Amino acid sequence: MVLLGAATLCAAPAADAQLKLGKAVNAISKGVQAMTLTDEQMAAYVKESVDWMDTHNKVCDANDPYTIRLNKLTEGLKDADGIPLNFKVYDVIDVNAFACPDGSVRVFSSLMDIMSDDELLGVIGHEIGHVAKHHSKKAMKNELMTGALRDAVSATGGIAGALSESQLGALGQSLVGAKFSQKQEKEADDYGYEFLKSHGKNPWGMVMAFEKLEGDNSSAKKSSYVQKMFSSHPETQERIKRLSERAAKDKIERPASN
């Protein structure tokens, strides 16, 4: 999925601030036999791709207001079912966020611009849910086995080695734009709700974030994040209704909207 959206509630940075993923290609597999790939080997490939994206995109430093805000919001969010979490902000105009099987969570500055603190935590909780429920792991393993990297993995016998620029781009594209089934989205919603609640955060933020993104008529509506989270309008409404009823049943007060 190609990143398209840009926040319209703040001044847009220069065009070269868009997320850099490298030159993704679709390699044609040439009779490669089916093979296995261990979790450790997959993790090494994913880490290499995340490291590449961290190096080639503008990452907000420790003193940047975006980083300070994110660190404050995610304080205490150390791991998800044993997977250690690490957070960074990409200073790019795309409206997005993603989480990786290794626990890397990347939030884009333009998404932060349109979200309140509670809403942003809702998005983060949902993304962590995909990691904890191993959805992102399955998606990445599928990409490594059947997508543009299959030949590269096969050539090394499944041993993670240095990837080319185009291969890193292909894997990075899959990390950022991974699509999940409606069942997986529901599981991520449920995990994120409990994750936020158990850490003393308000799970209403997830509902409020969904409402804002689903009802947004700006260019952000076209962003890959909105597309991958909300595959159908009726399903979105059902997710909002289900989580709202759950929060009400738990007697959790809904924060004021910004």
CB 112 within 8 A of CB 89: yes
pLDDT value at position 16? Answer: 43
20 backbone dihedrals φ, ψ, rounded to 5°: -100, 125
Q: If 0-12 CB within 10 Å is exposed, 13-18 middle and 19+ buried, where does residue 44 land? A: middle
Residues in CB range of 76: below 8 A, 6 or more apart? 199, 200
64/140: higher pLDDT? 64
Cα separation, 141 vs 135, in Å, equals 10
Instruction: Check residue 247 and report its DSSP letter.
Output: H
Cα separation, 25 vs 27, in Å, equals 6
Cα separation, 87 vs 77, in Å, equals 10
104 backbone dihedrals φ, ψ, rounded to 5°: -75, 125
Residues in CB range of 55: below 8 A, 6 or more apart? none
Cα separation, 141 vs 43, in Å, equals 9
Which residues participate in catalysis according to the annotation?
A: 127
Q: What is the mean pLDDT of the chain?
A: 76
- The token duo for 41 is 């080997």
- The token duo for 172 is 């990075």
Cα separation, 255 vs 258, in Å, equals 9
80/232: higher pLDDT? 80
Q: 79 forms bridges with which residues in the sheet?
A: 84
144/247: higher pLDDT? 247
What predicted TM-score, i.e. pTM, was given to this entire model?
0.77
229 backbone dihedrals φ, ψ, rounded to 5°: -85, -35
Max intra-chain CA distance, the chain: 58
CB 19 within 8 A of CB 5: no
Amino acid at 34: A
From 8-17, 136-145, 158-167, 241-250, the region with the lowest mean pLDDT: 8-17
CB 192 within 8 A of CB 122: yes
Hunting for tokens 């991974």 — which residue is that?
178
pLDDT value at position 160? Answer: 44
